Amino acid sequence: MLSSACPILIAACGNAMAGDDAFGPRVAEVLIRKRLPAVEIVNLGTKPGGLLDHLPGPQLLLVVDAAVQDDKPVGHLIELDWFAPSRPPPAHEAVLSSHGVSIADEIGLADRLGMLPRHVHLVACTIGSTHSGQPMHEAVQRQVPPAARRIAAYVGHWLEKSHKP
């Protein structure tokens, strides 16, 4: 019913009405306008627990989210493989999510149940305030177009690679 028939799933997380937490949804809006081939884009909004509704099926999952990294300034773009040993552990659920099930939990559960695509890639931006009703920090806002471009490029490379014999 909701499961994706596309090989690539882009899942954006965040509260569009809560300052810098809107990063993911804003990137998703830009990506939707790009009409990328073979891609389904879902805005999970404040309900990351909806990710599993779209799995299994896709071979590549791209997660777009807000991030907190103490040693980086607000507005720093992070891009990494979810399974890379160098990936820092997810922030405690209460820090970034008040929605019971975090995106890290969803990915962990999908992995445990064998529903996760082999390739999971995270694109995130370090953020400052997540207060309701606040606008996005300018430094975060500036990273929306570059993040969308990076994702589009990643999708292009991945499709090219996956079509090679």
Partner 1 sequence: MSNSNNKNPDTRTIRVGAIARVEGEGSLHLSMRQGKVEQVRLQIYEPPRFFEALLRGRHFQEVPDITARICGICPVAYQMGSCHALEKALGAFDAVDPAIRTLRDLLYCGEWIESHVMHMFMLHLPDFLGYQSMIAMAEDHGPVVRKALRIKKAGNAIIATLGGRSVHPVGVCVGGFYCAPDPQRIAELLPEVRACLDLMSELTLFLAEQVDFPDFQRDYEFVALCPDDAYPMNLGRIKSSKGLDVDQADFAQAIEERHLEHSTALYSAIRGRGGYLVGPLARLNLNAEKLHPQAAELLREVSGTIGQSLPWRNNFLSLLARAIEVTHALATAADILEAYAPPTRSRVPITPRAGTGGHGTEAPRGICWHQYTTQEDGSIAHARIIPPTSQNQLMIEQDLYEIAQRVVDLSDEQAALQCERVIRNYDPCISCSVHFLKFTRTWQGPRTPQKAPSQ
- The CA dihedral of 132, 137, 141, 147, to the nearest 10 degrees, is -90
Q: Would you say the C-alpha torsion 82, 87, 93, 95 has a positive or negative sign?
A: negative
Give residues 84-103 in contact with partner 1 (rule: CB under 8 A).
Answer: 92-95, 98-101
Which two tokens mark 124?
A: 């995130």
Residue from 70, 133, 161, 164 touching partner 1 (CB under 8 A): that is 133
Among 70, 132, 160, 164, binds partner 1 (CB under 8 A): 132
* Length of the chain, in residues: 165
11 versus 154: smaller Cβ distance to partner 1: 11
**Is residue 105 at the binding interface for partner 1, with CB under 8 A as the rule?**
yes
User: Toward partner 1, which CB reaches closer, 100 or 135?
Assistant: 100
Question: How many other CB atoms sit within 10 Å of the CB of residue 143?
Answer: 25
Residue 19's nearest CA partner among 162, 153, 154, 139 is 139
Q: Give the x-and-dash track for 112-131 against partner 1 (CB under 8 A).
A: xx-----------------x
How many positions of this chain bind partner 1 (CB under 8 A)? 29
- Write the binding mask 32 to 61 for partner 1: x where contact by CB under 8 A, - elsewhere: -----------xxxxx-xx-xx--------
Q: What is the DSSP string of 121-151?
A: EEEEEE-----TTPPPPHHHHTTHHHHHHHH
Residues lying near partner 1 in the complex (CB under 8 A): 1-2, 15, 17, 43-47, 49-50, 52-53, 92-95, 98-101, 105, 108-109, 112-113, 131-133
